[in-house]
Structure 1
Amino acid sequence: MQERLERRSFIFTLLLVTIAFGLLLKPFFTPIFWACAVALIFHPVYRYLLNRYPRWPNFTALLTLLLCIVMVVIPVLLVGSSFVSEGANVYQKVQSGEINLGAKVEQVRAAFPGINAALERFGIDFEGLKQRLLGGLMSAGSFLAKNALALGQNTLQFFVSLGLMLYLTFFLIRDGNALIALLIRALPLGDEREKLLLAKFAEVTRATIKGNLVVAVTQGTLGGLIFWALGLPAPLLWGVIMTMLSLLPAVGAAIIWFPAALYLYATGEAVKATVLMVYGVAVISLVDNILRPILVGRDTKLPDYMVLFSTIGGLMMFGISGFAIGPLLAALFMAFWEIFMREFISSDTPLIPPRRQSPVDDTDSKKLSAQD
C-alpha cells in the first residue's frame, strides 16, 4: 500500500514538473521546433561527413550547421527582409495614390464585359466584390507595413531566437540518435509504438519541409522571374506570395499569375499576357506535378483535403511555422488512431482508404497475379 502510494505520488509530481517545464519552454517553441526539423533534414549530410571523419563528430556537426546556414538561413533572411520592405513600399504607393487599385480593377472590368454578366448570373454584386477585394489588399499591405516596423523594433529578439535555434540544432545533429534512443526508453507508450510515431514524425517533417517547401519555392521563384522579365511591378513581392500560396493544395500560384495575365490583356499588352499565360500553364503549374512526386512521394499518406485544412489551421494557430506543424499534427493524429484501431479494436482497415489504382496499375497487378 505504501509503495503504491509513493509510486502514484511520484508519477503525479513527475507530471507536474513536466508540465511546468513545458510552460517554461513555451516562449521558445518555434526555435525548438525548427531546430528539430532542420536537424532531421540535415542529419543524412552529417552521417555522410561522419563516415569520412569518424574521429571528429564535433567538427562534422559544425560543418553541417554551417552548410545549413549558407544554404537556408542566409537566403531566407535576405528574401524575407526584401519581401517585407517591398510590400511596405507598394502599400505606401497605394496610400499616396501613386497606384490606383480601383482604376486597375475597372480597367479589367471594361476589357472583359462578360465578367459582369457572369457575376450577376450567380447573384454577385461586382461593386461589393471589388470593395472587399480592395479592402483585403489594403489590410494585407497594412499588415506588412506594421510587420516591417515591428521587425525593426524586435531585431534583437529575432536574432536571439535564431541563435538559440542554431545552437540547439548543433546538438540535435550531433546527438540526435542518442536522444531518440533515450526518448524511446523514457516514454511509456511501448517501444514499437514509439518507433512508429517517431518514424511518422520524420516522414512528414521531411515531406512537408524538404518536399513541399522546395516545390513552393521553385514555383514562386519561377513566377517572380517571369514577372521581372515582363517588367511587372514588385516581382519579388509577388514571387514570395506565390511561394506561400503554393504551399496550399488546390490553391497554388495561379491565383497570382492568372489575374496578372488578365490585367495585361486588359491593358493591351497581349504579347506579355500570352507569354505569362503559356509560361504559367506550361512551366509553373507543371513543377508541382514533376517535383512533388520526386521529393515528397507518398510519405505523408494524407489526402489533399486533409493537408489543405491542416495547413490552413496550422498557419492560423502557429503563424508561418504552421505550414509544417499543421500536416505533422494531422499525420500524428492519423497514426495514433490507426494504432488504436489495430491494437484495441482489432481492425486492419486504414483510416484513409487507399486511392483507387489506375487502369494501368490494375493491368500490371493482373499480370503479376497471372505470373504467380
Structure 2
Amino acid sequence: MWRYVALLLLLTPSLYNANKFSEIRETCLALDDLVSWAKAHHYLLIVDFLFGIRVAQGELEMLCQNPQSYTWSLDILTQIHLLKNKVDRLASLAFYDMQNDTDNDYFKKFQRLVDTKYYISSHYSTERRFGSIPRFPDPIEQDPTFSEQQSDGCMREILGTEETPACTISRKCYKQMTNRESEDYQLTHQLLYLILAQVRGCSKELARVTLIQDTSVIELETTFTAKIFQRLPSILDSGRYDLFTEMVMIGQMLNYREFYRSKILELLMLWQDSTGCYNDDTLTPPDLKNQTNYIGRKLFADEIIDDSCSEHMTALALIVLTLTLRHQLHSLPQELVTWSFANLTLISLCGLVLVGLVVCFKKRRFRILRHFLA
C-alpha cells in the first residue's frame, strides 16, 4: 500500500505539470496559426491589426528576455523564440506595406499608434483582483453623444499630432472618456484611452487631470473594468463575440486575474477558424449585422478578408492569446514550487516511515510493534 501512495505522490506533480504545459503548447499553436494567417495577408492588414501585432511583439520580447528557465521546458522556450521572430517579421512587413500605401489616410492619422512595440505587462505587472464588485444597474441605450470620430481624436491627442503635442488631454476628451454611463464599445474605448495614456508616458498629465476631478486613474480603471466583468455573461449570451473578446482584452491588459479563466481560453480556441483567423461575420447575430447606427462597433476600424475573416476580431484574439500565454508562463513558477514543496514534504515523511518499518522488521526489533502490525 505504501508503495502505491508514494507512487501517487510522485506522479501527482508530474501529471499536474504535464497538463499545464499542454495548455501552454495549445496557446502557442493557436498563436502560430493566427500569425501564419496574418503573414499570408500582410499586404491587406489594417491599423487595428498592426496595433495587435505591436502588443504581441512587446509581450513576446519580454518573455524571451526574462525566461523562467528553471520551470519552462526547452521546447516551450524554443516555441516562444520562434513566435517572437515570426511576429517581428510580420510587424516589419505590415508596417512597410502601410507606410508605402499613399492612399491610406487612416494610417497617416494613427502612425504614431503603431510605430513602436507595447510592453503592456510592464506597466501593469502587479496582478489585480476584484474585491466586492458593485452591482451596476442594467445597461441603458448607448450615449448618443459618443462619437467614434471624437474618440479617435482623443486617442490622437495622447499620441500627439502636428498641431497638438503628445499627452494633451482636453477637457472635452476627458469628459467623454470618463463618462460613467458608458456601455459596450464606448466602455472599452474609455479604458483603452486610460491604458494608452499611461503606456505612452502620459501618467503625470492623466493623474493631474483626474485629481482635479476628485478621482484617480486607478478608481476609474477599477470601476470601468468591474462593469465590464459584470456585463461579460450577458454579452456572451447575446452572441456579441467581438465585443466579448475586446472586453476580455482590456481586462487582461489591466492584469485582472478574473479575465484569465480557462473557460475564456476555451472559447477563443473554439472560435478560431482552421485557417488561423477569426470569422466575426458568422459569429455575430443577424440582428446586429450591418447596423449603421451601432455606435462604437469597432476599436478603430475593420475589414473582412477571405470572405469571412474579421481583421478586428483576429487582432483582438492575437492580443488575448499573447497575454494569456504570458499569464500561463508566469503562473508556472509559483504553482510548481508550491506543488514541489508540498509533495516533497509528504514523500519525505512517507519515506522515513517506510524506512523505519523496514528496519524494524529486518532486525527483528520492537517485537510489540511487529506483533501489532502482523
TM-score interval, normalised by the smaller of the two chains: under 0.3
Kindly indicate which of the two structures has a greater share of residues assigned to helix.
Answer: 1
Normalising by the residue count of structure 2, what TM-score does the alignment of the two structures yield? 0.24
RCO higher in structure (CA 8 A, sep ≥6): 2
